Each structure stands twice: as C-alpha cells, then as structure tokens.
Amino acid sequence: MKEKSDTSANKPIKSGFSRAWYGSSIDEFHRCSSDQILGALAANSEFAVEPTQRDAWLEQIVILSNQLMGITGDLFLEFNIPRMGKRIDAVVIVGPVVFAIEFKVGADTFDRAAVEQVWDYALDLKNFHEASHHVSIVPVLVATEADIGATFNLRADSDDVYHPMRVGTNGIKAVIDSTLREIGGSSIDAQNWSESSYRPSPTIIEAARSLYAQHSVDAIARYDAGAKNLHVTTNRIDEIIDQAMAKSEKVICFVTGVPGAGKTLVGLNVATRHRRELGKPTHATFLSGNGPLVQVLTEALTRDEFARRKVKEEKTRIGKIRGEVKAFIQIVHHFRDEALKDPKPPDDRVVIFDEAQRAWDLQKTADFMKRKKNQPGFNQSEPDYLISYMNRHKDWAVIICLVGGGQEIHTGEAGIDTWLDAIQSNYPDWQMYISPRLADSEYAAGVAVDRARAHSNSHFDESLHLSVSMRSFRAENVSAFVKALLDCEEQKARDIFREMEAKYPIVLTRNINRAKEWVQTKARGSERFGLVASSKAQRLKPHAIDIRVKSNPIHWFLNDRDDTRSSYYLEDVATEFQVQGLELDWACVTWDGDFRYNGSGWNHHEFRGSKWGNILKQENRNYLRNAYRVLLTRARQGMVIFVPQGDKSDLTRSPEFYDTTYQYLADIGIPLLD
C-alpha cells in the first residue's frame, strides 16, 4: 500500500443511495493510502469509530491491497444491507461476478454463524438488489488467522449464488481467479450496480426490529407496486390522524389487505411514528389478539434492543427493556382489562388493532368477564367495549383496524361487522374511513358495510386497501393460488401455479422424511424452515407429529439451529395458532384427514375419542378451512406438502382419508417429490 498525501487520489464511486462508506475502482484503491481510505470510512460511518473497529479496517485494507494486486475491477467497503441492518465488509466486482467478502479478524476457524452471515449477504443481494438478480454472486468468508490452502469447491445453486468460500488472508485472489476461469459473460458496470434499486421484503420480525430501532420504513420496504401501495396507505393514515387531532374528531379506520400484503407492517410503522415520547400528543400502541405474534415480536425487539445498548456500553437490565417494549406492543386483552381498572381514558390517542376481525363477540366477551373478571352483568362485545374505552377521550382519538380476509380461526371471533355495527349504534359522532374492499365476501362484512354507506360520517377510501402480497417476494400470487385451491377452482389454481412455480417451488410427497430433507436442502444461510399442521391434525402422531405438544413460538421462531426447540430441528410442529401473522422461508405443510377433498369440495372432520366425526356447524367448518389457508400462506420462498399414505390396518388413518386430497393436489400440477 503506497503512502501518499494527495487526498485527491481517493475519488469514491458516487452511489445515489449511499450504500457503501467507500467505493472506487481497484486501481484507485491501490493509489490511495491506508489513512485516506480509513478517513473515508470514518467520515461516512453512522457511529463513533472505536479503536478496535479502526484496527480491523486497517487490517482489511492491507489484506485487500495485497490480494487485489493485478486485478481489474471495483471495490466497495461497508456496503449496506438494509433489510438485515448490517453491512458487508467488502464487495468486489470483477468481470461478470460479485464477490461478497466478510472478514473475521483474529479468527482461526469458520464457525457456522459466520458462514451463514456471509451467505445471507449474498442471498440478500440476489433477492432484493435489482442489479444483482442476473449475475453470479460468490460469498467469501476470510478468517485472518486460519491456516488453509487455496483449494475450492465452486458450487452454485440455480440462481447463481455460490456456496460460501472459506479462506485465509492469502486465499481471496485464488477464489477470484478460480471463479473467473469458470464463469464467463459481460462485465458488470459497477457505477450502475452501486446505484441500482434495493427492494427488500422483510419478515415481520425484521421489519419490527428495524422500525423499533427508529429506521424509516423506506429503508426496509420494497419500491415496487406493493411498496407504493404500502406507502400510500401509511401516509393516508398519518393524514387521518393529523386531521383528527386538528379538528378534535374521533375516527375509526378500516384497512384491508390480501394475506402478506403488509397490514401488520403498516400498523407497526404508524405505531413507531407515534411512539410515546415527551411532548408528543399522538401516543400510539400496537394491539393484537394474536398471543404468539405479540410474544415473538416482544422478545425479538427486547433481544435486539438489549444487544444494541450493550454495544453502546449502556448499562441496562433486559427486564426494563422488555417493559418498554410492552408499552409499544400489547395483547389487546390486556389493554381491554386496563379499562376495567380505571375510569380514565387510556394514555394513547391512537390504537392499532391487528387482525381486528378476530376480536371477541358479545357471548365470548360476556362469558369471559363473568368468569374471570367478576363482571356478571357485562353486555358488550369486545369491539364495542374497546371503542367505548377510546371514547372516554374528551376531544380526539383514532382507532385503526387492520382487517385480514379469511383469517378467522377460532370460535368467538366477532368478525368486522361487529365493529361497524357498534359505531353506528352507539357512537354516531365517530368518523368512519373504510376500505371499499371491506364489502368483499372474504371479509364477511357485506351487510354491515351496506348499512355504513348510509351513515353520514362514512368515507370510503381506496388507499386503505393493500392489494399486493409482500410476504412471498418470489411469487406475489401465492395467496391467489391458495384461495383457488381452497375454493376448488381447479383450472384457475392450475393456471396460477403454472405461472409461479419457477419462482416459488411447491412439491408434494407422501414421505415425511423426504419432505424434511427437501426443506433442509432448499434453505441456505439462516433461512428458516419448520413443520406446520392444523390444530385438528390428530392422526399425524405415527409420523412423530403431535399437535398436542404445544411449541413455544419464541423458541420456535427466534432460536437458532443448535436449539432443539427451534423450528430448524423439525421436531416441534406449529399450528395455525402459533404461526398466524408470522413467516417462514420454507414450510413443510403436513395435511391430515381433518380436511379432505371429496372430488368436488371439502369434507370437514374432527377426531373425537377413537374416530373422526363430521363438523356440522358452518362456522367451525370455516375455521378449519381458514386454518389451512394460514398454513399454506406462511412460506416466503416455497413449501413441501406432505399427505400421508394412511394405513389400511388403522381405521383412524384409512388411505381413503388421504388419497383424494393427494390426487387433487397432484392434478393441480404440484410436482411429486417421491
């Protein structure tokens, strides 16, 4: 490395999105001094540079100077990966290849977490960085103290993302040379590559972490049609909140969306924009009746915030942080119970109810209040009571109801019409802002919406509907496929599947071991996979799938591969109640005899005692159907469906309970794994 004093020698590539803290051609990099490069990194750093970080950068600069000698290309240091909230140590672009390089300074081994980290970087670029969609990406892990020879097994998957290369400090050049001998094609324009759009699609856990850390939704949301819709909806809600405050109005707002469209992301974004801070009049709380979702998000945010403060060397107790998080996101029933304790209005002026259609009806609420809260004369549905609590404010208040279609999976869930009826009957001064799609059959609120149209304070607003699924970044029409499948629209399901199968693989098997092997093989880096089953799937026990053993969603969704309680182990199964609102990258959907195709429609069954019985009540049939809708829409990247063969000698697992379902799925065009 030449030591020059001419600072004009360092002319970093300008990125429109400022993704890298340093960027230049490799030739310019060699002309710069270590101090110049270090100065550029420090100047663009988002945090105070500690001596340990400075020393690590200096070592990386020296290594790259030696290893990139004689190579023509471009170099970026500290390249931003917004969805993950991290930065790649170095990105080297040579010819048609992008090398994502992660350094472990002082390490002499390659631990699994480090390998997964650099693999995740490569996958993130491939999936979400537009200019990386059609190029080869090679992740390289450098352990600076490792004694390892320059031998490599170059192996790429179908999307041209290579398996991570593990090298010591002298192996980077060998990796580049070996890769370029194998890969041909046009050279990448590094300037255009660096300025290309980054369109991440975060999981709800990733989104919550980023938003809670005060990052803008712009940093984590995609910028395609789905994200434009997301921004329009979020901004419209902010306008409604501002208007309510300015005019001293009370407002209820109904936001609809297809599964995975980002309803929860919208709610979290609004809640973080209006967090409880001194001097802010718009305190907001995110509420959900989905216990597992709240548990997982609370723990994820607590762990993340604790780690962030630990890095900053702030002394704090994890219990204190957990308390702060619980003020931001709460179980809706806890919020409701506070209304019983104190006649005053809540501290919050804005409350966001996730999956509002799942609030309890009058019968279930009254029964609970009588048995658990010693309120024998209670006669309000949960929506009615929650509105009355917010109505205690003398001037203004806003309720935002996030409404999913076909998501009711439990008895006593009131549906969205109960909210509408409560407003019109008991709170006529409230303004209603309603998504026109609320009248669609899947939201089961058509009659109530028709009545609302005659209400003088009703405002129908198309911007309150999220029409594009963002859960599956590989195939946005997964929810449409699942709907057609469950509606027995065989040709429609076949047509949609044909369009999406190249990007979103779905396979079918009757061998549970093959199913597990498939998701394990498909998952790369830290991509999460797991077993899911209906809560009525009582006869999967011969396959070591026992829904009676309740999985802990915190361990299942947040713990890593070393923990037997995590989803990775494929031992604990999660039902629709544990996974609703959350996501996996790859799912193993197990299909029991509770929900059977009969040639033209579905038969609904429940296992009682020693045999299956018919489910007669239409409401309970809908719950079972929706349970499978939830299971079939959990995976972001693909799934395997396991349908048992049954056993002629076991009357509870007769092959006829499974064969027609298996054949129906096969006839739709789902390829067989066997």
Co-location of 548 and 650 in the same domain: yes
CATH number, position 489: 3.40.50
pLDDT value of position 228: 60
Eight-state DSSP code of residue 164? P
The sign one gets for the Cα dihedral 186, 191, 193, 196 is negative
Residue 472, domain member (yes or no): no
Residue 673 lies in a domain: no
Does one domain contain both 209 and 185?
A: no
In a shared domain, residues 322 and 444: yes
Regarding whether 484 and 445 lie in a shared domain, the answer is: no
Give the separation between CA 308 and CA 322, rounded to whole angstroms: 14
pLDDT single digits (tens) 612-658: 999 999 989 998 999 999 999 999 999 999 999 999 999 999 999 99
Which of 158, 178, 195 is where one domain is finished?
195
pLDDT at 605 > cutoff 60: yes
The neighbour count for residue 72, using CB atoms within 10 Å, is 11
Contact in structure between 626 and 556 (CB atoms under 8 Å): no
Residue with structure tokens 């409350």? 351
- Within a domain: 287: yes
Per-residue HEC secondary structure of 360-391 comes to: ECHHHHHHHHHHHCCCCCCCCCHHHHHHHHHC
Task: Assess whether 343 and 492 both reside in one domain.
Answer: no
Q: How confident is the model at residue 214 (pLDDT cuts 50, 70, 90)?
A: low
Residue 1 inside a domain? The answer is no
- CATH number for 75: 3.40.1350
Q: Structural domain of residue 621, as residue ranges?
A: 478-668
Q: Is residue 674 part of a domain?
A: no
Spatial distance between the Cα atoms of 488 and 601, rounded to a whole number of angstroms: 6
Residue 595 phi, psi (nearest 5): -125, 100
Query: What's residue 84's pLDDT?
Result: 62
Tell whether 414 and 451 lie within a shared domain.
Answer: yes
- pTM of the full structure: 0.83
Concatenate the DSSP letters of all residues of 37-53 into one string.
Answer: HHHHHHHH-SS---HHH
Q: How confident is the model at residue 581 (pLDDT cuts 50, 70, 90)?
A: confident
Query: Is a pLDDT exceeding 60 seen at residue 173?
Result: yes
Instruction: Assess if residue 471 is contained within a domain.
Output: no
The yes-or-no verdict on residue 17 having pLDDT over 70 is: no
How do beta strands 86-94 and 97-104 pair?
antiparallel
pLDDT top residue among 78 and 207 = 78
pLDDT, tens digit (0-9, with 9 covering 90-100), for 73-102: 999 999 988 766 689 999 999 999 999 999
Residue 560 lies in a domain: yes
Number of domains observed in the structure of the chain: 3
Q: What tens digit of pLDDT does each residue of 299-324 get?
A: 998 988 888 777 666 777 888 888 88
How many helices (H) and strands (E) in the chain? 23, 22
Instruction: State the chain's maximal CA–CA distance in angstroms.
Output: 85
pLDDT digits 0-9 by tens, 370-415: 888 888 889 999 999 999 999 999 999 999 999 876 555 566 676 7
Mean pLDDT of the chain: 88
Same domain as 220, residue 142: no
Residue finishing a domain among 168, 195, 222: 195
Q: Tell me if 655 is assigned to some domain.
A: yes
Do 463 and 232 contact (CB within 8 A), yes or no?
Answer: yes
Contact 416, 440 (CB under 8 A): no
Q: Are 432 and 542 members of one domain?
A: no
Where is the domain boundary, 425, 440, 466? 466
The verdict on 20 and 120 lying in the same domain is yes
What are the residues whose beta carbons fall under 8 Å from the beta carbon of 223, sequence distance 6 or more? 197, 198, 199
Same domain membership, residue 458 and residue 326: yes
Regarding whether 350 and 311 lie in a shared domain, the answer is: yes
* Same structural domain, 301 and 426: yes
